[in-house]
Structures are given as structure tokens and as C-alpha cells.
Amino acid sequence: MVTLWKAHVGNFVCNSGASLGEYCLIKVTETGWSGTYSNGQKVKHMVRAKSVEGGCAVAHGDSGGPVYSYTNWFDEVAAQGITSAVGKPVYCGGLDGGRVIVFSRAWDVVKDAGAYVMVY
């Protein structure tokens, strides 16, 4: 990681999870999203992004993984967020997943926690 970016509508991001692996054709469609997950957990200030090719952006088991963007011709990475949830479930080639990913912005997590990010 070389920097921390704040996700904005129209940004392209990548998800890298334990189940799906890396997938990068994901476009941010909404920031500041609030809602209730299927387990009853209420969330706010989240980001929603959608696969632009109709494929799976995220699969069950990817939660907690990084959401990031490549910069400078793919040789640097900017942290965008932390995977939180799957949108409407779809079949993803043997996995349960979704075309929509919901994630918390790394920018907000760092700011709210008063933390520092080490850049390598």
C-alpha cells in the first residue's frame, strides 16, 4: 500500500477475498449508504459498489478483506476499504456471492479511530 484514498462514486476498486480472490471490475455506485443487513445488523456510512460486467464482485467468506485501487499503471496500491457484505445473492461459479459489494471506507475507519497508517 502506498496511500489511503477516500472512495467516491465512479471510482473503480478491487476486492481481494479468501473465497473469490482478486476481482477489479467494480465501480463505486454509492457512498454514505445506510441499511440493515439480513442478520438485523444496522450499518451506516458504508460504500456500495457493483461489478461492471455483471460478474460476482464478492463472495461469502470475503468479509474483512481489503478493497483497494491500483494507481500509476498498476504498480502502486491505494487502500479504499474493508469488505463487509454481499448484496443480493447470486451464484458465482460454485460460490454464493453477489454483484454488489458493501464496504466500510478505510479513510473513515482510520479517521474515527484516530489511527495512523504505515505506508511501505
pLDDT in tens, 58-95: 988 898 999 999 987 667 888 899 998 776 677 777 77
Check residue 120 and give its pLDDT.
Answer: 56
User: Which phi and psi angles does 106 have, rounded to 5°?
Assistant: -60, -35
Reply yes or no on whether the pLDDT at 112 is more than 90.
no
Is the domain spanning 3-113 CATH 2.40.10.10? The answer is yes
The DSSP bridge partners found for residue 14 are 68
Residue 67 C-alpha cell reads as 478493497
The tens digit of pLDDT for each residue in 50-60 reads 999 888 899 88
Domain locations in the chain?
3-113
The three cell numbers of residue 78 are 491505494
Q: Is 98 exposed, middle or buried (0-12, 13-18, 19+ CB in 10 A)?
A: buried
- Predicted local confidence at residue 38, as pLDDT: 79
Cα separation, 44 vs 33, in Å, equals 6
Q: What is the pLDDT of residue 19?
A: 87
Cβ partners under 8 Å of residue 21, min gap 6: none
76-86 and 3-4 strand pairing: parallel
